[in-house]
Chains A and B, each alone.
Chain A
Amino acid sequence: MTVTDNSINAAASASISLTVNGEQHRLELAADTPLLWVLRDHLGMTGTKFGCGIAQCGACTVHVDGRATRSCMMPVEAVDGATITTIEGLAPRRDHVLQTLWLEMNVPQCGYCQSGMLMAAAALLDDIPAPTDADIDARVSNICRCGTYPRVRAAIHRAAAARNGGQ
């Protein structure tokens, strides 16, 4: 897939390749475009959210080569060639243990921050299978204005227990 904007400023334009949720993309666009807007505007994948644009809130969290990354301040040229996973690609059938528990425990309120929450939590569980409260505090520092924090924390602990018990 190639997306070209009508740039007349060739100097700022770059040719970028990305693998997003297993699909390869080639794009011609301004090199400083944040990954967030590449995903949302150029690739039409709107699950990744814009909240602050300055890497404060975590709504835009995706996995870049497996690491939780706030995509709103990540210039696309810095992730050229990278493998990206977004909320749409977290689990093909919406059956990641966190998604299952998020549904069971009614975690989201408005839901806007939740893709970022889930992506941060998923990366945490991959790195630390049985996170402590302090691990969660440190690694899931996303903002939720609706105040879903108690449920997010509880769901992460339950997910860890389910995964570890299931092994």
Chain B
Amino acid sequence: MTDVLLNRRQFLVSASVVAGGMSLALVSRTASAGTVSEADTVAEFSPWLSIAPDDTVTVYVPTGEFGTGSMTQVPMNVAEELGCDWAHVRAEFASARRDYLEGGPYAIGSQPFFTGHGTDHARMPYALQLGASARERLKAAAAQRWSAAVADIQARDSVLTHIPSGRTLRYGEVAAAAAMIALAEEPALKPQSEWTFLGKASPAKLQLPGMVDGSAAYGIDVKVPGMVYAALLQCPVQGGRLRHHEPEAVMKMPGVRAVVTVDRSGTAGSPVTAKATFGLAETAVQSAVAVIADHYWQAKTALQALPVAWDFGEGADWKTEQQLYDDALARLDEPAAMVLREAGDVTAVTTGRAVAADYLTPYCDQAPMEPLNGTALVTSERVDVWTPCQDSQQAYWVAIDETGAAPEQVFVHRTLVGGAFGRRSFSEDVRMVVAIAKQYPDVPVQVIWSREEMMRQGRYRTLIAARMRAVLDAHGMPLTWDARACQAGNPMVSLPLGFADAVYAVSGAIPNVRIGTTRHPYHILTGAYRGPCYNSHAFMVETFVDECAVAAGADPLDYRLKLLADWDPAWSNCLRVAAEKAGWGKPLPEGRGMGIAIANWPMAGMKQAGSTVCAVAQVDVSRDGKLTVHALDVTFDCGRFVNRDAVLAQLEGGVIYGLNMSLSEEITIRDGAVVEGNFHEYRLLRMADLPARINIHFDALSGHDRFAMIGEAPVGPIGPAIGNAIFQATGKRIRSTPLLKHDLAWG
């Protein structure tokens, strides 16, 4: 932490000015930085932080903003220690280019440019320290100005006060001088018990005003002078290729400027070793054609008129999604290719009651509301890209790789993001934008995916099939748990989370465990989907445990409590509180059921880690099979929180996302191509579809000293809680989603 503030454009000119017991070292700018006028210059304290003469504090946030509030959380962390007036705080996007060229000033914590995670366990103390350091430097500058002792100076609400004399200075008045000061020693952070802002206040997102008056700028809102628009069509079957097209047929249509084609051969390659967050393997372009025109509507109209023929490739042999499901399930007949966890010997137990079942969750589309888009201007001098990406470091390296330009020539301008949920992680959309724009050089080109193009050319939730088998002892508790999965996803999104580290596998409650997986991607491209793979595993594991409880004749809540008796008590507490809030155990009328489920992202296998979320669902199923989810009672443990309302918003949104995913989402296939193109085919929940009650309870928070990420975890337990409730209501066990696809009629 000691070199936090050693900006490499500054150097020490004199050391050890002692004021008020604080040892200081003066620093100055290098000659190349030019002369600095205190009156009108924004003072840079660090690549993360600057203070302007008018007191404006700007925090450069590497983690972007797509709705979770990290562009607000990181500045909040800084402000807690800086002691500035929150009204003066702004957030800006940190530059991935600067990070590369200056040796990684933003490379703090894992995936430093990936959106979200404002309370990351490495970044949060770093941001607090930034605030504390800047505060002490401001105090030191004031001490110099007043020839006073630092110890006599108080910093609060962006004002420095010399306590003995009552004199004051605003932060902005000494910021330039303070930025020249380097501390010989970093100040200690205040204990959390002395926080006055974090955990106390829930300020609105800094970007909120623009979101309610239309001025907030998302990627699709970028306007660059002289900009033209492109409409895009990729091969309807992923992996296929453009065979033939007739640009002449549309070149004379209104506004049309060019028709371009895109394929992998056009990728130039990075001139240096790329440092893309997620690598470049999953970012290749699909074969495509695009029309460039003065206006988007003209481009889209011409594209629709463009004669095109494709070679669909091998993917077209898959006639329906059911063929893919059957194939994935058939692969479970073979031993798993990789054993992820093994304890005891699952084959040693030969007697006892067996519970066995297969599960499946389908491809789904993240469907953020802002369609994929991006703007690029490629010239011989430089490459500029404006993108609503999830990770600007990834976007930066993709742009470099596609153009072959030197890293210093490439500028990625991040924008607000109209939802992502994983869809914008890998920046293959950035590659497509650049691949089109570089064929129309010197003119800014904005590429906009139609909703249909985006939905049918997705990077879908990994399709997963799983087979599970348990042998129960005389009391109904599992002696063995043997589980294998087939994950039809690319290696980046074939994750073991919530499966290999499922709590029942690691808690020691089951003596013999074997968990394995086989990766078998099909031609359908996959990507991150809110809580990748965890969101499937939670459904499978929590449904299976419920089946074991039923086979044992046990109450599903008691059964889980028993399995978790020696585990982190916060899990049991989440179960108990959710059950109590929902009225678990009370007699229910015919056709009504209650179900429970619990899961943790991303640390199910560790005590006091990650975020645990428990859900109790109450459903009605009519005799003819109509499902109504009445209520969801949700408890959680992320340790502690620093912004209560932001955590609540993520839980509300995550619960609804999990509900939508489990009830109705499924991408289907005809002759290798995705069927669903828009929201009339791929149903998203609307206000009228919500359960009457979604109750988020804060009562099960453990208070453990962590601020775990909360966006993904709630997506997991909702589906299995509802599925388990359906079983209680109808006696029908649902082992695949979407739940609404099943015939739930009973009686």
Contacts and interface: CB of A to CB of B under 8 A. Distances in A.
B233 to A, nearest CB: 15
Interface in A129-150: 136-138, 140-150
A20 interface: no
Nearest to A87: B214
Contact of A106 (B202, B223, B416, B421): B202
Contacts of A145: 367-369, 419, 421, 657, 684
Given A6-B255, A110-B418, A94 B367 contact: no
Determine the main DSSP class of B at the interface with A. loop
A109 B281 CA distance: 31
A59 B371 CA distance: 11
Contact of A138 (B252, B419, B649, B688): B688
A149 B297 contact: no
A48 to B, nearest CB: 7
Contact of B253 (A9, A57, A118): A9
B223 A108 contact: no
Interface in B275-300: 294-298
Contact of B254 (A7, A37, A113): A7
A150 B204 CA distance: 17
B254 A49 contact: no
A111 interface: yes
8 contacts: A37-B297, A41-B296, A52-B679, A111-B216, A111-B418, A114-B211, A115-B212, A149-B685
A7 B255 contact: yes
B671 interface: no
Contacts of A1: none
B655 interface: yes
A48 B204 CA distance: 22
A5 B208 contact: no
B687 A51 contact: no
B223 A46 contact: yes
Contacts of A47: 213-215
A17 interface: no
Contact of A147 (B253, B297, B654): B654
A13 B295 CA distance: 14
Given A108-B208, A110-B418, A110-B419, A30 B369 contact: no
A56 B369 contact: no
Contacts of A106: 202, 204-205, 208, 645-646, 649
A102 B254 CA distance: 41
Contact of B652 (A8, A88, A103, A147): A147
A109 B213 contact: no
A153 to B, nearest CB: 6
A42 B294 CA distance: 10
B369 A113 contact: yes
A37 B66 CA distance: 24
A29 B543 CA distance: 57
Interface string B326-362: 0000000000000000000000000000000000000
B297 A41 contact: yes
B208 A41 contact: no
A84 interface: no
Contacts of A99: 212-213
Given A103-B209, A108-B205, A150-B694, A54 B687 contact: no
Interface string A76-119: 00000000001110100010000100111011111111110010
Contact of A51 (B420, B451, B690): B451
Given A53-B450, A110-B419, 18 more contacts: A9-B253, A9-B254, A33-B297, A51-B451, A90-B213, A103-B208, A103-B212, A106-B645, A106-B646, A108-B208, A108-B212, A109-B67, A111-B67, A111-B416, A115-B214, A137-B687, A143-B679, A149-B690
B298 A143 contact: no
A141 B419 contact: no
A104 B653 CA distance: 18
Contacts of A88: 213-215
B229 interface: yes
Contacts of A149: 656, 685-687, 690
A112 B367 CA distance: 12
Interface in B297-320: 297-298, 301
A67 interface: no
B514 to A, nearest CB: 37
A146 B694 CA distance: 15
A104 B686 CA distance: 23
A8 B419 CA distance: 38
Contacts of A7: 254-255
A17 B192 CA distance: 60
Contacts of B66: 110
B370 interface: yes
Contact of A150 (B417, B451, B652, B654): B652
Contacts of A104: 204
Interface in B249-282: 252-255
A148 B295 contact: no
B255 A102 contact: no
Interface in B199-230: 202, 204-205, 207-218, 220-221, 223, 229
A54 to B, nearest CB: 5
A48 B213 CA distance: 10
A54 B421 CA distance: 23
B680 interface: yes
Contact of A49 (B207, B220, B450, B679): B220
Contacts of B690: 149-150
Nearest to B69: A109
Contacts of B450: 53
Interface string A19-63: 000000000011001100100111011111111111011010000
Contacts of A49: 218, 220, 369-370, 418
A152 interface: yes
B634 to A, nearest CB: 12
Contacts of A128: none
Contacts of A138: 688
A151 interface: yes
